[in-house]
């Protein structure tokens, strides 16, 4: 083909070997989970019995806590994404446009949640949540406030990467000189250009919320993860099956978005 392979890139063979070995090793636990869900009786056969049990309406009562947990997690994910888009995003844009000196501060605030692990945060969240419970009740969705904080580092980086490549300052000024009000600037000029960052941030937030266990467990709420633990005590097969489904869902979502992004980039390159 074209260029001589330069010394920085490994040979195709080396690359393939490394990737295949790692892929196989990482596939083993997943395959074990699949095999586990397919186990049929003590004699050691395999069938789809456990998967069928999920769909059996007879069992819906048994698994109610699981379905409730899933439902709660979905709502939580939605509210968390809402917090990211309605609270974090405008703040980031505002800081970029009007308070560039505060950018470091905002970055610092958004990176702190990495330093304060969930297990530590939860120690201080309990009293805060007792207040929240008095004001807004103790419905599961209120947990989203805490989740919004947990996803801050990831959402911030995803949006910041996009903000860096789009010159929001110039775009906003151009729109203003053409007569647009701030609302128009935000919704019709800036947001369409920040789609990629917002989408990435949202998807990461969904992944984090679906996988979160610590805060939900120690604050006593029912989410996907806590319900999985609970169900696993009585029916580990279904618990594992749902874990696989959650994984597959997140993976497919990320894969599709990744492909769409790649295809658009391939088309855009001259």
Partner 1 sequence: MTTSATRRSEAGSAHAGPAVSLPPTDASDASAEPAAARPRRRPRWALLGLTPFALYALLFLAVPTFLALATGFFDGDGAFTLDNLTALTEPAVLGAFASSFWVSAVTAVAGAVVGALVCYALLAVRPDGLIRTFVDAASSVLAQFGGVMLAFAFIATIGIQGLVTVFLKDRLGLDLFADGVWLYQVPGLLLPYLYFQVPLMVITFMPAMEGLKRTWSEANATLGGTRFTYWIRIAMPILAPSFLGSLLLLFANAFSSYATAAALISQGAQIVPLQIRGALISETVLGRENLAGSLAIGMIVVMVVMMTAYSALQARTERWQR
Partner 2 sequence: MTTIDQSAPAATPGDGRPAGAAVRFDRVVKDYGSGARALDGVSLDLAPGEFVALLGPSGCGKTTALRSLAGLEDITSGSVLIDGVDVVSVPTNKRDLGMVFQSYSLFPHLTVLENVEFGLRMRKVPAAERRTRAAESLDLVGLGHLAARYAHQLSGGQQQRVALARALVTRPRVLLLDEPLSALDAKVRVQLRDEIRRIQSELRITTLFVTHDQEEALAVADRVAVMRAGVIEQIGTPEELYSRPSSPFVAEFIGLSNRIPGVLVPGGVEVLGQVLPVIGEQPGDGAVVALVRPEDVVFTDATEPAVGSAAVVLTSSFLGPVRRTTVELPDGTLVAVQHGATERLEAGESVRIRFAGRPVPVHAAP
Residues in contact with partner 1, total (CB under 8 A)? 101
Show Cβ contacts of residue 136 under 8 Å, excluding neighbours closer than 6 positions: 142
**Which has the closest alpha carbon to 79: 129, 126, 149, 137?**
149
Position among 15, 60, 130, 234 found at the interface with partner 1 (CB under 8 A): 15
Point out which span in 51-59, 74-82, 87-95, 172-180 binds partner 1 (CB under 8 A): 87-95
Nearer to partner 1, 58 or 218 (CB): 218
Contact 33, 243 (CB under 8 A): yes
Residues 110-169 that bind partner 1 (CB under 8 A): 111-128, 145-146, 148-149, 152, 154, 157-158, 160-162, 164-165
Residue 8 interacting with partner 2 (CB under 8 A) = no
156 binds, among partner 1, partner 2, none (CB under 5 to 8 A by kind): none
Residue 4 interacting with partner 2 (CB under 8 A) = yes
Nearer to partner 1, 78 or 218 (CB): 218
Please name every residue paired with 39 in a beta bridge, in sequence order, or none if there are none. 46
Structure tokens at 237: 């097969």
Query: In the complex, what is the shortest distance from the CB of residue 267 to partner 2, in angstroms, rounded to a whole number?
Result: 17
Instruction: Compute the distance between CA of residue 81 and CA of residue 137 in angstroms, rounded to an integer.
Output: 21
Nearer to partner 1, 57 or 118 (CB): 118
For the chain, the C-alpha Rg in angstroms (whole number) is 23
Residue 2 interacting with partner 2 (CB under 8 A) = yes
Contact 140, 75 (CB under 8 A): yes
Instruction: Compute the distance between CA of residue 194 and CA of residue 160 in angstroms, rounded to an integer.
Output: 10
Structure tokens at 243: 């874990």
Point out which span in 2-10, 23-31, 121-129, 133-141 binds partner 2 (CB under 8 A): 2-10
Residue keyed to tokens 């789009």: 166
Contact 76, 140 (CB under 8 A): yes
Residue 88 interacting with partner 1 (CB under 8 A) = yes
Query: In the complex, what is the shortest distance from the CB of residue 2 to partner 2, in angstroms, rounded to a whole number?
Result: 6
Nearer to partner 2, 4 or 135 (CB): 4
Work out the number of other CB atoms within 10 angstroms of the CB of residue 125. 19
Contact 95, 103 (CB under 8 A): yes
Structure tokens at 263: 């295809």
Nearer to partner 1, 15 or 234 (CB): 15
Nearer to partner 2, 5 or 98 (CB): 5
Residue keyed to tokens 């709660």: 72
Instruction: Compute the distance between CA of residue 74 and CA of residue 135 in angstroms, rounded to an integer.
Output: 23
1 binds, among partner 2, partner 1, none (CB under 5 to 8 A by kind): partner 2
Residue 55 interacting with partner 2 (CB under 8 A) = no
Position among 1, 6, 179, 181 found at the interface with partner 1 (CB under 8 A): 6
Residues that bind partner 2 (CB under 8 A): 1-4, 6
């Amino acid at each position: 083909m074209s260029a001589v392979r330069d010394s920085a890139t490994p040979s195709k063979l080396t690359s393939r070997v490394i990737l295949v070995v790692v892929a196989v090793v990482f596939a083993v636990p997943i395959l074990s989970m699949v095999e586990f869900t397919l186990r049929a009786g003590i004699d050691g056969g395999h069938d789809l019995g456990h998967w069928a049990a999920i769909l059996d309406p007879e069992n819906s009562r048994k698994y109610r806590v699981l379905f409730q947990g899933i439902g709660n997690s979905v709502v939580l994910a939605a509210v968390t994404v809402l917090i990211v888009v309605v609270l974090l995003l405008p703040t980031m844009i505002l800081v970029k446009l009007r308070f560039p000196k505060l950018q470091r501060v905002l970055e610092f605030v958004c990176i702190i949640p990495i330093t304060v692990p969930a297990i530590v945060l939860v120690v201080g969240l309990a009293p805060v949540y007792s207040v929240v419970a008095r004001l807004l009740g103790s419905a599961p969705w209120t947990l989203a406030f805490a989740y919004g904080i947990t996803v801050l580092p990831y959402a911030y980086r995803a949006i910041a990467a996009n903000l860096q490549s789009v010159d929001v300052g110039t775009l906003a000024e151009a729109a203003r000189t053409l007569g647009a009000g701030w609302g128009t600037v935000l919704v019709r000029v800036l947001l369409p250009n920040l789609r990629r960052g917002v989408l990435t941030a949202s998807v990461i937030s969904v992944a984090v919320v679906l996988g979160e266990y610590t805060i939900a467990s120690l604050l006593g709420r029912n989410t996907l993860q806590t319900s999985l633990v609970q169900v696993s005590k009585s029916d580990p097969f279904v618990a594992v099956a749902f874990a696989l489904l959650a994984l597959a869902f997140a993976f497919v979502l990320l894969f599709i978005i990744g492909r769409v992004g790649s295809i658009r980039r391939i088309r855009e390159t001259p």
